Amino acid sequence: MSHESYELKAEARERVGKGSARELRRKGFIPAVIYGDKQAPISIALNTNEVTKRIHAGGFMTTIATIEVDGKKYKVLPKDYQLDPVRDFTMHVDFLRVSGNTKVTVEIPVHFVNEAKSEGLKVGGVLNIVRHEIEVHCPADAIPEFFDIDLSGKKIGDSIHISEVTLPKGVTTVIDRDFTIATIIAPAGGIDESAAEAGEAEA
């Protein structure tokens, strides 16, 4: 799991529509909807500051939350949120109900490790990141925090493919082919010969 699960208190919304949404925002609340799990959607209002804090903390879209509405608790995963394009505040959030056997589709960030052990980067090569995130299907209660991509021994011209990443049990990629995550390319100004020779000597 990306981050520790958290709880939010919400109020049920009787009125929906643009007018009531504007009124909610003026009072410091965000309109939101809980849907999925073959049940009727529930319109709710959440505290703006609480939600904004969670979004800025990172991992918002990959962390299960518990939302309490009128004494009843729902386990949910954020599926989408809208920001005001001008003032950058949260306008609306969609939550998906989840249970132990719910499968979700999420984007997991990639972290590159062992850059110092990459021969290509040592001699001035550039890491060209093709995908900063990898979209996967996985159990809602076992969402990976990130994927480590090992750069050890990678030379200029090498590509790193998804087949080199060990996926946790129950996790599959949305794209069903061996796609490229990153490549190591020669720098625009050419390779530093002295660094290359030093790298070869070390090797």
Q: Mind listing the pLDDT tens digit for each residue in 66-115?
A: 999 989 999 999 999 988 777 777 889 999 999 878 899 999 999 999 99
Neighbours of 123 (CB within 10 A): 22
Name the one residue in this structure whose structure tokens are 């020669």. 186
Which of 17 and 66 is assigned the larger pLDDT? 66
Name the one residue in this structure whose structure tokens are 């200029």. 156
> What is the residue type of 143?
I
Which domains can be identified in the chain, with CATH numbers?
6-99 (2.40.240.10), 104-202 (2.170.120.20)
- pLDDT of res. 194: 55
Least confident among 25-34, 83-92, 102-111, 163-172: 83-92
